[in-house]
């Protein structure tokens, strides 16, 4: 049986923390689908297509990966893709409560799909896409948190406010 894991998120933009998690997952599953959410209750800075393109660029060298956008319920998309596993990252205790709710809701709607959690490397446990954008907007150096292509996309998006 092929084991397919789906890793959903907003990825606005994809960071080195996400990539670290995806690299770990690619060693564990036959296929990892990076599912970029159109609707996640956030107002993304990058369009869905931009977020998909950036993820594809960053992940070119990672095996067994597919990047897809979705605008449905996550569990419906997981079923459509024949994924048995939803993968989420846990960085700190503060992630737990939201993840607990998400997992509970998803399990209620799709009991056959398991949610599994991985932890990124510790140097990425404090990164988030919002913090990266805030830093970039205020002229901070985010080059160690994101891929160089994401760095230049952020520069373009934030009108060259990055040093």
Which long-range contacts link 104-110 to residues 24+ away (Cβ below 8 Å)?
A: 106/74, 106/75, 109/73, 109/75, 110/75, 110/78, 110/79
Query: What part of residues 92-151 is at the interface with ligand COA (CB under 6 A)?
Result: 102, 105-106, 120, 124, 127-130
Q: How far is 96 from 92, CA to CA, in rounded Å?
A: 7
Nearer to ligand COA, 1 or 127 (CB): 127
Single residue of 4, 5, 6, 9 touching ligand COA by CB under 6 A: 9
Asked if residue 4 binds ligand COA (CB under 6 A), the reply is: no
Burial of 126 (0-12, 13-18, 19+ CB in 10 A): exposed
31 and 5 in contact (C-beta within 8 Å)?
yes
Minimum distance of ligand COA from residue 41's CB (angstroms):
6
Q: How far is 138 from 163, CA to CA, in rounded Å?
A: 9
Minimum distance of ligand COA from residue 140's CB (angstroms):
15
Assess whether 51 carries a catalytic annotation: no
Assess whether 40 carries a catalytic annotation: no
Assess whether 39 carries a catalytic annotation: no
Single residue of 10, 59, 78, 85 touching ligand COA by CB under 6 A: 10
User: Listing from the earlier edge strand, what are the strands of the sheet with 114-118?
Assistant: 65-70, 31-37, 4-9, 85-89, 114-118
Backbone angles phi, psi at 127, to 5 degrees: -85, 145
Single residue of 4, 17, 50, 146 touching ligand COA by CB under 6 A: 17
What is the contact surface with ligand COA in residues (CB under 6 A)?
A: 8-10, 12, 15, 17-18, 21, 37, 39-40, 73-74, 89, 91, 102, 105-106, 120, 124, 127-130
List, by residue number, the catalytic residues: 18, 42, 91, 129
């Amino acid at each position: 049986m092929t084991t397919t894991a789906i890793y959903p998120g907003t990825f606005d933009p994809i960071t080195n923390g996400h990539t670290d998690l995806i690299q770990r997952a690619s060693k564990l599953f036959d296929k990892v689908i990076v599912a970029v959410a159109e609707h996640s209750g956030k107002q993304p800075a990058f369009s869905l297509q931009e977020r998909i393109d950036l993820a594809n660029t960053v992940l070119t060298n990672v095996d067994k990966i597919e990047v897809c956008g979705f605008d449905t319920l996550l569990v419906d998309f997981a079923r459509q893709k024949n994924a048995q596993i939803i993968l989420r990252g846990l960085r700190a205790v503060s992630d737990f409560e939201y993840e607990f709710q998400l997992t509970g809701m998803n399990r209620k709607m799709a009991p056959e799909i398991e949610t599994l959690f991985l932890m990124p490397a510790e140097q990425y446990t404090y990164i988030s896409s919002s913090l990266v954008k805030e830093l970039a907007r205020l002229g901070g150096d985010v080059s160690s948190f994101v891929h160089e292509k994401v760095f230049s996309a952020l520069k373009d998006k934030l009108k060259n406010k990055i040093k």
